[in-house]
Amino acid sequence: MASAEERLMEWLRDAHAMEQQAETMLSTMAGRIELYPELRERIELHLEQTRTQASMIESCIQRRGGDTSSLKDLAGKLMATGQGFGGIFMSDEIIKSAMASYTFEQMEMASYRVLIATSDHVGDAETSAICARILREEEEMAAWIWEYLPKVTRQYLAREEAPGLDAQT
């Protein structure tokens, strides 16, 4: 049976891999979006936050005497790459990508809530504070996407219905 300390390290490694996956996913999305500049701009902002988040989680792991999991990081990046290529074949890629991003933010929020509770349980106030900061950023991104979904949907539908306009990305 794993101890709370071991679980914290395991879940921190999972969070680092999750941020690596998010970085790849966001980078791919931002690079493909041309017709929705507001969305691209917000994704690029969150991409920078994501890179910082990965670094902050890595610092927690190292401070606790561990290292990141190269295997988990690679698996996350590969999954994100597959997701990016999968979107190419969808006629409504921008909508599916926005929905997937919202779902991913929810998973990240849940992960950071678990990490905060575990950090508090083992008495690691620094890791708890870092995870709380990241959680706020993820909540902000999720709220932004939630509010933006109707707008991007209307933009997509208007472009799709207009003769000669591309609605894709």
Tell me if 17 is assigned to some domain.
Answer: yes
pLDDT in tens, 54-104: 999 999 999 999 887 555 545 554 554 555 545 455 578 899 999 999 999
pLDDT the model gives residue 163: 76
26, 47 in Cβ contact below 8 A?
Answer: yes
More confident residue, 161 or 115: 115
The dihedral over CA atoms of 132, 124, 5, 72, expressed in degrees to the nearest 10, equals: 40
pLDDT the model gives residue 88: 54
Tell me if 168 is assigned to some domain.
Answer: no
Tell me if 99 is assigned to some domain.
Answer: yes
Tell me if 166 is assigned to some domain.
Answer: no
pLDDT the model gives residue 32: 87
Rg over alpha carbons for the chain, rounded to the nearest Å, is 18
149, 39 in Cβ contact below 8 A?
Answer: no
CB atoms within 10 A of CB 63: 12
Q: How far apart (Å, rounded) are the C-alpha atoms in residues 112 and 117?
A: 9
pLDDT the model gives residue 91: 74
pLDDT the model gives residue 90: 57
Tokens of 81: 């790459």
pLDDT in tens, 104-132: 999 999 999 999 999 999 999 999 999 99
Tell me if 14 is assigned to some domain.
Answer: yes
Tell me if 87 is assigned to some domain.
Answer: yes
Mean pLDDT of 24-47: 93
If DSSP codes are grouped into helix, strand and coil, which group holds residue 37? helix
Tell me if 128 is assigned to some domain.
Answer: yes
Mean pLDDT of 9-29: 93
pLDDT the model gives residue 79: 55
Tell me if 167 is assigned to some domain.
Answer: no
Q: CATH number, domain at 104?
A: 1.20.1260.10
pLDDT the model gives residue 77: 47
pLDDT in tens, 126-157: 999 999 999 999 999 999 999 999 999 999 99
Instruction: Give the model's confidence band at 169: pLDDT under 50 very low, under 70 low, under 90 confident, else very high.
Output: low
- Domain count of the chain? 1
Distances (CA, A) of 20 to 39, 90, 157: 21, 24, 32
Domain that holds residue 90: 4-161
